[in-house]
Structure 1
Amino acid sequence: MNESDRALVDRFCDMMAAEVGASRNTLLAYRSDFEAAAAALGSIEKAGPKELERLGEAWADLAPSTVARRSSALRRLFGFLMDEGYRPDDPSAALPKPALRRPLPKVLDTHEVEAMFAEVEGRAQSGQPIALRNLALLELLYGSGLRATELVSLPRRAVRQGQPFLMLRGKGDKERLVPVSERAAGAVAEWLKHVPVDSIWLFPSGKKHLSRVRLFQLVRDMAALAGIAPDRVSPHVLRHAFATHLLAGGADLRVLQALLGHADIATTQIYTHVDAARLVELVNARHPLADQPR
């Protein structure tokens, strides 16, 4: 990247940090995409529609999601440069527009989730601290739809008896209310009896809290105990199950968006496709005419 482009990128990143609150990692990702674009264009500052059209060929071997991300970054940069008077036009209409197909998330059906709970609850009846902790983890993952990082980093007093929700600071440093069922609150209360009183975490591990990697391992172990293939289950799969089963039960899409903490409802709409896909599968498998020859 030449010095002129670097200076413009610096101004753009300063704006993103000050006005949008972009994190360090986000800014590094932007810089990486701009470096790649500059290598293909020669100069971002002087690039016009013809140069941008050639990016499609230069990036032909890249994944569509990578091309889409780089195009999005350049589109935002060119808009900034025109708004601030650094260039007279915005050529971003010529950027590649790869067709993206969002993959459907893995989902467990209700019977599989019930099997996991039956196994974990049975072990928790022993009163063993590890078993009580695992039940509390499972209740909050499936019952509240928490992300893995949100769950393991919960403060010790995050879940309070008689309070049907907790205030959570999640992805993007945004706060949201998360529902806590009576079952989950009860499981957490039993686990709290074994949490050191001086711990600042609900799920402590050494001097810190339980790690995301360890949570991933625990969830897979729970699945295996219930006779479910471990590679089908993860903390995020349980979050997907929370969303899909709520939607199937009649939950409003906007409510689901708020519960999951999605900034864009388009992200939440993926669950409508999941539900539709399951309905098609059900019709093909169970309809009386499904096996009849034409």
Structure 2
Amino acid sequence: MVEKFLKYCKIELNLSKNTLIAYKKDLENFMEYLPSDIEIVNVKNTDIENYFLTIKQNSKCRASSICRKISTLSHFFKFLISENIINTSPIINIQKPKKESHIPHFLTDEEVAKMIEVAKEDEKNGKKHAAIIALLFASGMRVSELCVLKISQLEIDKSQIRVIGKGNKERIVPVSNNAISILNEYLEDLQSSIFLFPSVRSNHISRIHVGNILKNIAKMANIDAKKVHPHALRHSIALKLVNSGMDLRLVQEFLGHKDISTTAIYTHVNSKEIVDLVKKYHPMSKDNAEGNDGNLVKNL
């Protein structure tokens, strides 16, 4: 039944591969929790409540993951209803936890430039790694979108890329001249391939491989590797665009966000700006206070 549900999600709902993997894992975890004498068609609301109570008590599962698990089960039981396997869904009055609010990691322009510079020092894979960093930052694309990017999606003469995002939705993403230049250097040495970043083991490079590449380069560039991951580059260009005054809905379109509330997280003032504003306007700052009391701010 799970496989039939996943097939429905893939064909009818056009869900991404990563979402399908998450759905499958969520359903497997739930079925492992159920006692052997309870079949999925006989699940009751109390079973659902106890399952999520157990998760909250015995695991470090994030609120966002719990919300996804609730959505997975909700979609699954709705599917069973549509197939006339059950009459009502056992998921009722299950409250989703409030998702954690956090400001994402981001890199400065100087750090990105340093990583590209360090990447190029590798004679064997330097051009490839530099192209990966440049494209992730310049286009703001998701790492999953980068991994499956085909050469046929490149429109170098127009300095843009046709990116296939979640739900197979296509969007046109402009790319800077500097990124195009770095990409062209890589393409000169690329052997015949369908994918822009092919892999020996599979058709294209994996997300894990990209993550490892970035962390290794960050270490060599003396940048905190903990904050360096593929999505950090996406965060970085998004924050830069928002802080430059670009309309939020245009940034939403650029990033391929379905909900503008996801884009709105980049409207948070970053910590450096807070420090600069405090130093400029705080009555005890050097520029605004009489005498030497302004030095107190530097020591706080």
Query: What TM-score, normalized by structure 1, do the two folds share?
Result: 0.73
What is the aligned length? 280
Equivalent of residue 229 in structure 2, options 234, 241, 248? 234
Shift of residue 140 of structure 1? 0.9
Distance 1:34 1:192, change over 3 A: same
Equivalent of residue 21 in structure 1, options 14, 26, 33? 14
Distance 1:82 1:165, change over 3 A: same
Distance 2:223 2:134 in 1: 18
Give secondary structure in 1 for the equivalent of 2:72: helix
Compare 233-242 and 50-59 and name the one that shifted more. Answer: 50-59
Provide the residue aligned with 2:94 in structure 1. Answer: 95
Provide the residue aligned with 1:143 in structure 2. Answer: 138
Q: Which amino acid aligns with 2:111?
A: E
Shift of residue 144 of structure 1? 0.9
Moved over 6 A (4+): none
Q: What whole-Å deviation, never above 9, does each CA across 1:55-111 have from its counterpart, x for those lacking one? A: 554333232434333322333344455666665655534224323214432111233
Distance 2:209 2:9 in 1: 34
Distance 1:282 1:32 in 2: 50
Alignment of 1:118-129 (within 5 A): 119-120=117-118
Alignment of 1:20-169 (within 5 A): 20-22=13-15, 25-36=21-32, 38-39=34-35, 42=38, 45=41, 52-55=48-51, 57-59=53-55, 60-62=57-59, 63-65=61-63, 66-80=65-79, 89-90=88-89, 92-117=91-116, 119-120=117-118, 130-169=125-164
CA contact (8 A) 1:170 1:261 kept: yes
Shift of residue 223 of structure 1? 2.9
Structure 2 unaligned blocks of 5 or more: 286-295
Distance 1:34 1:44 in 2: 9
Provide the residue aligned with 1:199 in structure 2. Answer: 193
Compare 251-260 and 209-218 and name the one that shifted more. Answer: 209-218
Distance 1:93 1:281, change over 3 A: farther
CA contact (8 A) 1:107 1:238 kept: yes
Provide the residue aligned with 1:255 in structure 2. Answer: 250
Distance 1:96 1:188 in 2: 47
Q: Which amino acid aligns with 1:233?
A: V
Distance 1:157 1:185, change over 3 A: farther
Give secondary structure in 2 for the equivalent of 1:146: coil
CA contact (8 A) 1:129 1:191 kept: no
Q: Which amino acid aligns with 1:147?
A: R
CA contact (8 A) 2:6 2:24 kept: no
Shift of residue 251 of structure 1? 2.1
Distance 1:11 1:271 in 2: 39
Give secondary structure in 1 for the equivalent of 2:107: coil
CA contact (8 A) 1:40 1:55 kept: no
Q: What whole-Å deviation, never above 9, does each CA across 1:136-160 have from its counterpart, x for those lacking one? A: 2322121111233433443345434
Q: Which amino acid aligns with 1:251?
A: M
Shift of residue 166 of structure 1? 1.3
Distance 1:285 1:153, change over 3 A: farther
Provide the residue aligned with 1:3 in structure 2. Answer: none
Structure 1 unaligned blocks of 5 or more: 1-6
Distance 1:85 1:131, change over 3 A: closer
Q: Which amino acid aligns with 2:21?
A: N
Aligned residues with identical type, % of pairs: 29
Compare 65-74 and 281-290 and name the one that shifted more. Answer: 281-290
Q: Which amino acid aligns with 2:139?
A: S
CA contact (8 A) 2:140 2:254 kept: yes
Give secondary structure in 1 for the equivalent of 2:12: helix
Distance 1:54 1:188, change over 3 A: closer
RMSD between superposed Cα atoms in Å: 3.9
